[in-house]
Amino acid sequence: TVIMVSISPIIALFTAVQSCPANCKFCPTDLVDCEQVFSLQEGHGIPVMTKKILLRKGNFTIIPERTFRAFSKLQVLSISDFPLYSLANQSFATDEVSSLEMLDLSNNQLTSCWVEASSLSGLQNLKELTLTNNALTSLKKCWFSDLVKLEKLIISINKITYLPPRLFDNLAQLTQLQVASNQIRYISTDTFYGLYLLRELDLSENTIIFINKDAFNPLHKLEKLYLFKNKLAMLPDISQSTKVLQLNDNLWMCTCDLVHSIRKLKDQIENPDALFCDSPEELQERQILDIEGDIC
């Protein structure tokens, strides 16, 4: 028995080290970290009980159907810095119930028409989805239909021009939505329908010229709203719950209405003295908080 006790850990370690694929490290810990990955076939040979997988750099362009089917213990998956443009149907779905809570696909080249309708299906435990810095031009409601537990959705730095009405209405648990640094031009009434728990919304650094007056009405719990660096001339209705509001670098049209709204929101607005009129011409570059007497 003395021999058995002393040898078995060595055997265990040896098999585990053996099972770590080329260019990967940390097997058999809960985290497997791989660089220069050229193929995802057979899950790249990564042990199927792994809880966290990070894949960085390499040349695969597509995640084939059910690539991660055997990885039902996987909680965190990050795939970034690939020329990856396409997700097949059920790319991440598992044979048993999926444990995946965080999926990070940032810094790839995902293209809207090559992300299949059911590519994210089966991820009913997913809490956080990051798609930052890809080439998405539009978002489709069907991508999100299984993500009923999603709390955080980050789609900043893409080329999205428009968010269709009720796009997010399956995401009843969503608390944080970041769509900064895209090319959105306007926001219609029902865009945020169903996001009753949303606390943070980042629409900064787009080219938004107009937001429907009622667009933010469904957001009863909204606390932080970022609208800076857009082309807004008018302000939509802002919910009472909002505590932090960033409005700088827009093209504010200084009507009496706007001046009143800004005054009313003064305590919520971060740095309200940095808000300037863009029009009418005679008020250009005047501080909004400084002109009440001039126009009202």
Ligand X SMILES: *[C@@H]1O[C@H](CO)[C@@H](O)[C@H](O)[C@H]1NC(C)=O
The site for ligand X (CB under 6 A) is made up of 38, 59, 89, 116-118
Q: Choose between 115 and 171: whose C-beta lies nearer to ligand X.
A: 115
Q: How far is the CB of 145 from ligand X (least distance, A)?
A: 9
Torsion over CA: 182, 185, 191, 195 (sign): positive
Q: How far is the CB of 118 from ligand X (least distance, A)?
A: 4
Q: Choose between 101 and 116: whose C-beta lies nearer to ligand X.
A: 116
Q: Choose between 143 and 192: whose C-beta lies nearer to ligand X.
A: 143
Q: How far is the CB of 38 from ligand X (least distance, A)?
A: 4
Q: How far is the CB of 25 from ligand X (least distance, A)?
A: 19
Cβ neighbours of residue 270 closer than 8 Å, sequence gap 6 or more:
244, 245, 246, 248
Q: Choose between 105 and 179: whose C-beta lies nearer to ligand X.
A: 105
Cβ neighbours of residue 56 closer than 8 Å, sequence gap 6 or more:
33, 34, 35, 37, 78, 80, 81
Q: How far is the CB of 58 from ligand X (least distance, A)?
A: 7
Residue 244: alpha-carbon gap to chain centroid: 20
285/77 Cα distance (integer angstroms): 48
Q: Choose between 15 and 41: whose C-beta lies nearer to ligand X.
A: 41
